[in-house]
Chain A
């Protein structure tokens, strides 16, 4: 009986307590500088530095004036911070005959990315839903063809698509490029949506059918509200993919519709005059800003979406 009291109430008998408390107690101590920690953190810090260094050089250079850039110390911070290169990159850098900077390319890219993303996701999600839940005749064949499409190199398809668009009178227009982006996004997005919808409980779909809901009612009222995470994933994929696209943009549009990436290339690679490294760096960061922001903003949302889906009973 005495021992029980001691165990439950340590202050009761100081003598016994010291004896009991002598051994290990509580959380096991882990030294900060254990070999394990040094390996893990060392490798992580090295990898992070390796990837961040170019970004650092770009930011630093873009904030310098040309005299300072010519000194050649690419790692040194700017002595005199100037935003001149950023302003020039955005509004007055020259590409060929136009001297209105990247801003035009930016708005072109916005006009390409937003409709392409919306159209491709809308169609692909319906494709995926039909393939996952409405097992129509030939569904497997259709799906296989679509997946094979994902493995055909872009280069093979470019010329035929040029001809098709020319015959449709869409070659060189933004509409044509939006159609091309939507088609190229279809295989991977359909696969994504089909797998997601297949992972939703089949009985929900059956219950909705017993309740009398049809194809569209089930899609809009049952499936869509449960699929926010996968829509975020698809949006990240499409926005970054289409924004970063260069090949399709340069092939299927005329110079006045060039997306930002193509225009960036034209600014950076222009052979006339001095190479303005500070402007080039600023232009590059501006072009990469959109995918970066998308990752930072929706990446978090995306993880939260996945987690929310995982714990739902």
Chain B
């Protein structure tokens, strides 16, 4: 039996007439790194605040370590939290920030010193202990903020967009550090972000949220390769997946999707159910699953519109079947605009969604 570290049961939250979360269920396994991913306003931070006990829920229950904490104060829930704006107490030194919670809890000084020393060693912030937060850089501040969660010696870490205020370079550095921290501590971590790269790189599982509802909860590769619906497919991936509206047809015993008069054979697509002819669908293909000028079963002609060299990759925008399609190829292969190319699609990696329900077929 796997122990659930955090469980959310039928959680609802509304502010007046506005419903932010609706009968939401979520189980986070012990030691799991779960990322709540969504654009702003989708309720991901609200959910995290509910788990932390900073917001009172309207309906439902929250369990941490199989203990019902729905009505508990934040400090009694066994959580540590890291905020986007670091939220360090500006008038205290780093040491004061780390030890504040422990002093409030009236721990013996020897224990406080031990925990502060351990946390500052893990995060390599010993030289900063006597400084004020205003004398630290953004990356150092966020390290201290993580340290403040660390000294609490808790089972569950909650991160609320911790890297959003940092510049790109620091963000990728700290991302690696958080991952390393998780690997060494093996704590449960719930991490809110709108950044899909953070989600894909850090998570054991990702919960993609929209309008207070979890759209898909799965490991990063499943989310990326087999999105459950059109929203998840469009949200994950940069540049985003190419979508074509079309209709399923039966041509000579083969299933094809006809898009603006162009047929795309679907033999290789791992369909979940029968693909009835006449059904309106949306075909989704990621930019890297289109081959350019390589041998393939089915060849489509296209014209290069714009080329975006990005170093390691080269991104081509092409015209196909009256639509614009993006294709990712190796950075060394260059194509001038206006050049005619031959495309072939890897349908085993494609996604097909019902045009009405927007769910995966």
Say yes or no: B89 contacts A209, CB within 8 Å. no
Say yes or no: A210 contacts B80, CB within 8 Å. yes
- Docked Cα-Cα span, A212 to B72, in Å, equals 12
Q: Which residues of B contact A20 (CB under 8 A)?
A: none
Q: Which of A57-65, A168-176, A199-207, A264-272 is near enough to bind chain B?
A: A199-207
- Docked Cα-Cα span, A117 to B74, in Å, equals 36
Q: Which residues of B contact A222 (CB under 8 A)?
A: 89
- Docked Cα-Cα span, A212 to B53, in Å, equals 11
Q: Are A225 and B83 CB-contacts (below 8 A) given A207-B148, A211-B100, A212-B104?
A: no
Q: Does A217 lie at the interface of the complex (its beta carbon under 8 Å from any beta carbon of B)?
A: yes
Q: Does B122 lie at the interface of the complex (its beta carbon under 8 Å from any beta carbon of A)?
A: no
In the complex, which residue of chain B has the Cβ closest to the Cβ of A228? B91
Q: Does A55 lie at the interface of the complex (its beta carbon under 8 Å from any beta carbon of B)?
A: no
Q: Which residues of A contact B89 (CB under 8 A)?
A: 204, 207-208, 221-222
In the complex, which residue of chain B has the Cβ closest to the Cβ of A201? B85
- Docked Cα-Cα span, A226 to B91, in Å, equals 7
Q: Which residues of A contact B133 (CB under 8 A)?
A: 313
Say yes or no: B87 contacts A211, CB within 8 Å. no
Q: Does A213 lie at the interface of the complex (its beta carbon under 8 Å from any beta carbon of B)?
A: yes
Q: Does A19 lie at the interface of the complex (its beta carbon under 8 Å from any beta carbon of B)?
A: no
Say yes or no: A211 contacts B85, CB within 8 Å. no
**Known pairs A206-B54, A206-B83 / 4 extra A-B pairs, C-beta < 8 Å:** A201-B87, A206-B81, A210-B79, A210-B80
Please provide the chain B residues from 73 to 113 with a CB less than 8 Å away from any CB of chain A in the complex. 73-75, 79-81, 83-85, 87-91, 100-101, 104-105
Say yes or no: A211 contacts B134, CB within 8 Å. no
Say yes or no: A212 contacts B101, CB within 8 Å. yes
In the complex, which residue of chain B has the Cβ closest to the Cβ of A206? B54
Say yes or no: B75 contacts A211, CB within 8 Å. yes
Q: Does B352 lie at the interface of the complex (its beta carbon under 8 Å from any beta carbon of A)?
A: no
Q: Does A28 lie at the interface of the complex (its beta carbon under 8 Å from any beta carbon of B)?
A: no
Q: Which residues of A contact B53 (CB under 8 A)?
A: 209
Q: Does A312 lie at the interface of the complex (its beta carbon under 8 Å from any beta carbon of B)?
A: yes
Interface size class of A (residues with CB under 8 A): 10 to 19
Q: Does B52 lie at the interface of the complex (its beta carbon under 8 Å from any beta carbon of A)?
A: yes
CB distance from A129 to the nearest CB of B (A): 16
- Docked Cα-Cα span, A51 to B294, in Å, equals 87
Say yes or no: B104 contacts A210, CB within 8 Å. no
Say yes or no: B134 contacts A209, CB within 8 Å. no
Q: Which residues of B contact A312 (CB under 8 A)?
A: 90, 134
- Docked Cα-Cα span, A128 to B87, in Å, equals 21
Please provide the chain A residues from 179 to 228 with a CB less than 8 Å away from any CB of chain B in the complex. 201, 203-204, 206-213, 217, 221-222, 225-226
Say yes or no: B83 contacts A212, CB within 8 Å. no
- Docked Cα-Cα span, A238 to B49, in Å, equals 39
Q: Are A211 and B148 CB-contacts (below 8 A) given A203-B84, A203-B85, A206-B83?
A: yes
Say yes or no: B134 contacts A210, CB within 8 Å. no
In the complex, which residue of chain A has the Cβ closest to the Cβ of B141? A313
CB distance from B245 to the nearest CB of A (A): 43
Q: Which residues of A contact B105 (CB under 8 A)?
A: 212
Q: Which residues of A contact B101 (CB under 8 A)?
A: 210-213
In the complex, which residue of chain A has the Cβ closest to the Cβ of B81? A210
- Docked Cα-Cα span, A213 to B105, in Å, equals 8
Q: Are A211 and B83 CB-contacts (below 8 A) given A225-B91, A226-B90, A226-B91?
A: no
- Docked Cα-Cα span, A209 to B148, in Å, equals 13
In the complex, which residue of chain B has the Cβ closest to the Cβ of A205? B87
CB distance from B80 to the nearest CB of A (A): 7
Say yes or no: A207 contacts B104, CB within 8 Å. no
- Docked Cα-Cα span, A215 to B53, in Å, equals 15
- Docked Cα-Cα span, A267 to B98, in Å, equals 62
Say yes or no: B87 contacts A203, CB within 8 Å. yes
In the complex, which residue of chain B has the Cβ closest to the Cβ of A311? B134
Say yes or no: B134 contacts A203, CB within 8 Å. no
A-facing mask of B39-59, CB < 8 A → 1, else 0?
000000000010011100000
- Docked Cα-Cα span, A211 to B105, in Å, equals 8
